Structure 1
Amino acid sequence: MKQDDLSIQLSNRSYAVNHQINRRLKHVYIQVRPEGIVLKSPGISAKEARELLERQKAWLERKLQQLGSPVADALPDSISLLGVAYKVHVLPEGGAGQVRLDPASGLCIVSLHEQLCQRSDLIHSALDRFFLAEARNYFHERLIYWSQQMGLAPRTIRFKRLKSRWGSCSSRDAINLNYRAIQLPPECIDAILVHELAHLRHLNHGPRFWALVHSHLPDYKRRDAIIREIGGKLL
């Protein structure tokens, strides 16, 4: 099945259209999905596809409104990695959302095909994949260090995007970590890791739990205050 990428202007926004060509089809179909617009045809030309989309503009706009399409979300202006801010810059140089940092210019560069550069859902997804990869590497290194310091090690570590917390620990010695914590300064990440590792010994927030945390991080309260101040907008 061949695929062509088109775009259409709807309600002052540019939407990517994935044109899928399947010679076995007898008719043309348009689907509006949360991830974007799909046009399936037996092989109509790009010109014919654009004309069809123009004729269906009103219907497409209604469907997108019903979906509350993620492509209408605002494009991110900036991100942080380990407490350092980078301005997000989307480059129309091809690719499926590769992300790289340029410390010299202070840019976080997201590479996408030109017709997809206004797809905020794809940009957010690319950044989330980037955060996850960075968190796996950095957190693993810091967990080894703190596990040795505290004499505590989880049986299982999972990385998730948690909506309202930075981590959790279960009675089965499994730790869940919010990979978006990779945006916080290193001292704050250490505070999160020490907090969750301490729960391996004390599954509560009693005096013995806090005594263990403060024995390894005497300034834990200061670090936690920073997390509370800046963390909400990073979740």
Structure 2
Amino acid sequence: MQIQIGDQTFALNVQYSKGKKISLQIDGAGRLNVKAPKGTADEAILNAVQGHSAWIIEKLSSLETAKRVPQPKAYEEEGSFLYLGKEYPLHELIGTGERDAEALKLALKKFYFTSLKKVVAERMPPYQNQLKVKPKSFEIVESRTKWGSCSADKKLTFNYRLAMAPPEVIDYVIVHELCHLLHMNHDRSFWRRLGGIMPDYKDKEEFLARFGGFMTL
């Protein structure tokens, strides 16, 4: 679903639930997420969102400004951190207790490592079946330059910071590395195979290019 606000067109990610009200959230990636009661007419959703036009423009403007100037992380219970593309207070991701900022940072990193390993293990098999490939192993690593890698002996790695990305972006990196099991170079055959599994892969690449620098501890 799309909506026109001023001279801009925005995509709406609508989720239907058992709730009684329409609610709107703008996540850290600038996407408009709407929750609506089951059976709500499209027109009612669009009208509700349109009523928040000024707030949407202001919020998106703030996000654009924030992208240019990375904000220091607040390692405290209510500090905001990304997980699977959404922002959460720190205490919802890890136990905070009486830990100091450095201990909280280390605990959060461990959470990202452990969580991403589970996410990749759950989401990779369907793509393996589609591509008819099987990596020798995969592990979660820390890297400043790569989101993933594939070695000549079919071992895959994934950057722990991907735990901060939306699931569909994690899927892109998974598929990207699985395709390298068939084509080690980024030649035309590689991109054709990748596009066959994930036609919108360029959108995922753009997301990482725009927001990857903010997916940090």
Checking the alignment, whether the CA contact within 8 Å between 2:94 and 2:108 is kept in structure 1 is no
2-structure distance, mates of 1:180, 1:145: 22
1:182 lines up with 2:155 in the alignment: no
1:81 lines up with 2:83 in the alignment: yes
> Larger % of strand: which?
1
CA-based RMSD of the aligned residues comes to 1.6
Q: State the aligned residue count.
A: 142
1-structure distance, mates of 2:155, 2:212: 23
Q: Deviations 1:6-55 (Å, cap 9, x if unpaired)?
A: xxxxxxxxxxxxxxxxxxxxxxxxxxxxxxxxxxxxxxxxxxxxxxxxxx
Checking the alignment, whether the CA contact within 8 Å between 2:180 and 2:190 is kept in structure 1 is yes
2-structure distance, mates of 1:130, 1:226: 23
Residue aligning to 2:199: 218
Provide TM-score, normalisation by structure 2: 0.61
1-structure distance, mates of 2:94, 2:192: 43
Provide TM-score, normalisation by structure 1: 0.57
Matches of residues 155-234 of structure 1 in structure 2 within 5 Å? 155-234=136-215
| 3-state SS, counterpart of residue 231 of structure 1 | helix
Change (3 A) 1:179 1:74: closer
Residue aligning to 1:9: none
* Rg larger for: 1
Aligned letter for 2:132? G
2-structure distance, mates of 1:160, 1:183: 14
1:154 lines up with 2:154 in the alignment: no
Q: Deviations 1:52-92 (Å, cap 9, x if unpaired)?
A: xxxxxxxxxxxxxxxxxxxxx96343211111111334xxx
1:129 pairs with one of 110, 124, 128: 110
Identity %: 30
Aligned letter for 1:229? R
Residue aligning to 2:97: 112
Quote the offset at 1:206 in angstroms.
0.6
Aligned letter for 2:74? L
Checking the alignment, whether the CA contact within 8 Å between 2:94 and 2:111 is kept in structure 1 is no
Which runs of 5 or more residues in structure 2 are unaligned? Answer: 1-71
| 3-state SS, counterpart of residue 171 of structure 1 | coil
